[in-house]
A and B are shown apart, each in its own frame.
Chain A
Amino acid sequence: MNSTIEAEKLREPAPARSGISRWARRNSLQIGTVGVALLIWLLFLIGAPSTFMSYNIYNALLVTTPYFGMVAIPLTLVIITGEIDLSFGSIMAWGMTGFDVVYLATRNYWLGFVACLLFGLVAGLINGVIVVKIGVPSLVATIGTQFFWAGAVLVVTNAQGIGLTFLQGSLLHSGLVGRIAGQLPMQFIWMILIAIGVWFLLNRTRFGAHVYLSGDNVESARLMGVDVDRIKITCFALVGLAAAFAGFVSSADLFFFWPTMGQGNFLNTLAAVFLGGTSVFGGTGTIFGTFVASFIINAINPGIVAVGLTQYYTQVIYGFIIVISVALQAVLRRRLG
């Protein structure tokens, strides 16, 4: 075919590509994220060797990263579809409010746990319906629901937290936040399970394929029979479910539910998704990237303190990371697009 010859002329001369370079090209985003992780780790290792040579810091990261990493993973799906969810922080507390209400009424913490997940799922579904069916841009819709659920939590709980010491020794507690062999925190295992589950959903099911298509070109996806509305609503619902689960896990680990919980997880959750290489423009993103980036983000705060800076720098660096990673995406998009 003549077109073959012409097509080749138009391209850069193609060197013989080995399997490794093709693999590197295909996974360039993930490699970049791992590179950033190694770089930051090296900086901290040089700056504060005593802290970063000890096991304690890594143990602390395994304990606390899942608190928001478990939300960042499904949030990646929402952002790949080209939407955003800013309400997950309030939904963490709203789910625990569901636990609060049902537990106080029944004194059954299993029922309370189920209620927690249901409250989160429904709150996520509502986000999805507002965005997709009513057509409110997700940025505005979820700022609204973020305030709404945060307020609803305060109204229902009368701003009173509850102690959760009754969970101590229960199967629910040891299953979610216990330690394997006295060391490895269960929430880290749950974060890995969620990451594997969402990775499978995104990369090995029609649903996942349609998540990418919905975020890339809504119109062509629709013309090819993709039910974009259903895909987006499902993604929002998954974030709601995960937020409630993460809210329960962090509360159970601390044996206390604070009605204002989740507000502090806002920036680092979003930063993890963007640093992980997910495009704010939709259409691209990986679960692996978000997973690794969650640990990078969570290491920044203790790392800064360990190298001798004040904690006030943490937010400066989070902000810097968000702006730089989104700016890089914009530049790459213009260059390649």
Chain B
Amino acid sequence: MDYVLQLKNVSKTFGEVEALRHVNFHVGTNEIVGLLGDNGAGKSTLVKIITGYHQPDPGGEIYWKGEKIDHLSVARARDLGIEVVYQERALADQQSLWRNIFMGREIANRWGVLDVNKMRSETNRLMNTAMGFTSAAVTSESAVKTFSGGERQGVAITRALYFRAELIVLDEPTMGLSVSETKKCLEFVEGIKKAGKSAIFIDHNIFHVYPIADRIVVLDRGTVAGQFMKAQLTLDELINRLQRVAQTGVLDTSPQITPGNGGN
């Protein structure tokens, strides 16, 4: 299996604090990786390295589609096709759907004049296809504040896919959503897989991650405590092991998978 992203021996220290220690992590092409871990396990530090916000300590290496990336900045990450979907910060509430889809990447002609009709019609197309909004009450002019939490995540994910993101990082996308909204949001995450793209799904909640992840990576105190193919473990077994790690600090990682065969 090809890797879209690979981190080798990545550490990150902030002063005295070792947020990440010798982390090896990868995401396969068209793979959804669930990233689990307690507060302080290093999830957000790992995400910030992947999105170019933090640089890893010397010795750590980042590969994108097999090519070594020496200095991964935020702009570089976006150019490569790494897009983050944040729960609260993704959308501008009072603006229309089309303005949100094209936020920061508006379509303009060579004189810099916006092609508003094109953006509206593209948004209408996306509503009917990717987002599945067919209600007559919703148009490309509807302000996104009228949307539910799951729909909002859908807009952000659709936007990322429209702009050809290869790897979508979802930072706790189901936080604060109701059961039905969570379901809707997870359907959009499945849409990433259907579109042939990859995703990292970060969540506290194993019940949200398990159904849609291909592989689950558990971070604990800055290291990868273990990773499991979903096919190898039932949800109950995974929960048992995570409960034991909370008590003993040791994660039973059998059957262990290595980066070499992970994802198949």
A interface list, Cβ under 8 A from B: 1-4, 6-8, 10-12, 14-17, 22, 25-26, 203-206, 208-210, 212-213, 216-217, 219-221, 223-226, 279, 283-284, 336-337
Contacts and interface: CB of A to CB of B under 8 A. Distances in A.
Contacts of A10: 148
Interface stretch (B39-47, B110-118, B256-264): B110-118
A6 B181 CA distance: 9
B104 interface: yes
- The size bracket of the interface on B is 35 or more
Given A3-B184, A221-B92, A336-B145, A209 B135 contact: no
Interface in B173-192: 180, 183-184, 187-188
A91 B1 CA distance: 65
A2 B191 CA distance: 13
A226 B104 CA distance: 6
Contact of A14 (B99, B103, B135, B146): B135
B141 interface: yes
A1 B133 CA distance: 9
Contact of A225 (B91, B104, B133): B104
Contact of B104 (A17, A204, A205, A224): A224
A12 B137 CA distance: 8
A283 B114 CA distance: 19
Chain A residues touching B, majority SS: helix
Given A204-B114, A206-B112, A220 B137 contact: no
A279 B112 CA distance: 27
Given A11-B137, A206-B114, A209-B99, 5 more contacts: A4-B134, A8-B135, A22-B139, A209-B102, A212-B99
7 contacts: A6-B184, A7-B138, A12-B137, A22-B139, A279-B94, A283-B94, A337-B145
Nearest to B141: A26
B151 A217 contact: no
Contacts of A219: 89
Interface string B74-96: 01001000001010011111110
A195 B210 CA distance: 55
A14 to B, nearest CB: 4
A307 B77 CA distance: 66
A16 B92 contact: no
B249 interface: no
B149 to A, nearest CB: 11
Contacts of B106: 206, 209
B250 interface: no
B150 interface: yes
A205 B134 contact: no
Interface in B145-168: 145-146, 148, 150-151, 154
List 3 A-B pairs, minimum CB-CB distance, nearest first.
A224-B104, A216-B92, A1-B132
Nearest to A282: B94
Contact of A220 (B103, B116, B139): B103
Contacts of B145: 336-337
B114 A7 contact: no
Nearest to B51: A223
Contacts of B188: 3
A26 B139 CA distance: 10
B38 to A, nearest CB: 26
Contact of B136 (A17, A221, A224, A279): A17
Contacts of A12: 137
Contact of B113 (A2, A17, A204, A337): A204
A69 to B, nearest CB: 25
A213 B99 contact: yes
B108 interface: yes
B30 to A, nearest CB: 20
A212 B95 contact: yes
Interface string B48-88: 00000000000000000000000000010010000010100
Contacts of B75: 225
Given A205-B113, A221-B104, A3 B92 contact: no
Contacts of B93: 216-217, 283, 337
B94 A6 contact: no
B132 A216 contact: no
Contacts of A210: 104
B151 to A, nearest CB: 6
B90 A220 contact: yes
Contacts of B94: 216, 279, 283-284
A279 B84 CA distance: 30
Contacts of A208: 114
